[in-house]
Structure 1
Amino acid sequence: MSTVPIVMDIEASGFGKGSYPIELGYSQRHGEGWCTLIRPEQDWVHWDSQAAQIHNIPRELLLERGKTAALVATLLNQQLEGCTVYSDGWGQDYVWLARLFDAAGCSPHFRLADLREIISPQQAVLWHATRLQVEHELAITRHRASNDARVLQLTWLRTLDASRVLH
């Protein structure tokens, strides 16, 4: 892959059956971030207090400031039309993205793929230490989906550059 990947991260109400997306963010090819809270649908009632402590987003805030699933799906389709977007938690993120688009009554016009598809074995060796370094350098104080996406994207870039130097 020669172009910088678009990386997406999704925060959710918890893990497992019944969980749903509460925040979605991504980092574009040039590092521009986009993030939004998602208002729970009427039948989205699952809430895991441990997950809430990690993302520090109260359900009340989602109800007050979150965008509807239909609006988020429309915005994503407009902004990511025809793109492949990568996620490091593809298994869960795919399910949460499907739940969002199902509630919106439409399909994504982009493809969500596993970030591991574009990480070489050389990059994988460097991944963990590089990610810790990126997190330290960015000194992000708020756990947010777009911040997580940017950390992953920068980690991919740095490990790509480092693996090219090594070979």
Structure 2
Amino acid sequence: MTVPIILDIEASGFGSGSYPIEIGFSGRHGEGWCSLIRPEAEWTHWDLDAARVHGIPREVLIERGNSVQFVAEQLNFFLGGRTVYTDGWGQDYVWLANLFESAQIVQKFTLADLYEIIDDDQLPDWEATKQQIIQELRVARHRASSDARVLQLTWLRTYDEAKKQTV
């Protein structure tokens, strides 16, 4: 079994016109990486409901966010040649494409839907396990790297439990 690399993206909103504001992943050994993203000049959409969920003020992104070029280069450095999974493939795919297009850099890894590698045996306990892990890790904020780690640990724990039941 290979531990999946999980990526998560926080965005300026939930629909069209939104853009990535934070991206993070949890690697195969549980190592994490995360970066705030400074909005491009044409990225003006800002949804207050989304801001309440992730708790990142736009001003913080402008002051402390990294450029789209830096973030894209770092992602390619760490993830190049690999398949990376996300639980929000439809949205995350668009946001990631937006990031790389704005950076004018070719993405060197594949983004895939996490549900492609979740077995039917894992599904019944998925949500309860996820909530238990959130409590164990004392995750207080909805942020990219911690969300990625929660999903990775949920996959691992439900995978292990499903395999125990089939033996």
TM-score range normalised by the length of the shorter chain: over 0.9
Show structure 1 runs of 5+ residues with no match: none
> For 2:16 and 2:64, how far apart are their aligned partners in 1?
25
| Identical pairs, percent | 62
- Give TM-score, length-normalised by structure 2: 0.98
Residue 36 of structure 1 deviates from its aligned partner by: 0.4
- Give TM-score, length-normalised by structure 1: 0.98
Count of aligned pairs: 166
Aligned counterpart, 1:17 = 16
Q: Secondary structure at the match of 2:15?
A: coil
Moved more, 33-42 or 138-147: 138-147
Residue 124 of structure 1 deviates from its aligned partner by: 1.1
Q: Which aligned pairs between 1:76-155 and structure 2 lie closer than 5 A? A: 76-155=75-154
Aligned counterpart, 1:63 = 62
Aligned counterpart, 1:165 = 164
Residue 120 of structure 1 deviates from its aligned partner by: 0.1
> For 2:43 and 2:155, how far apart are their aligned partners in 1?
34
> For 2:61 and 2:131, how far apart are their aligned partners in 1?
30
Detail structure 1 runs of 4+ shifted over 2 Å in the superposition: none
Q: Secondary structure at the match of 2:122?
A: helix
> For 1:6 and 1:150, how far apart are their aligned partners in 2?
9
Aligned counterpart, 1:54 = 53
> For 1:39 and 1:97, how far apart are their aligned partners in 2?
14
Show structure 2 runs of 5+ residues with no match: none
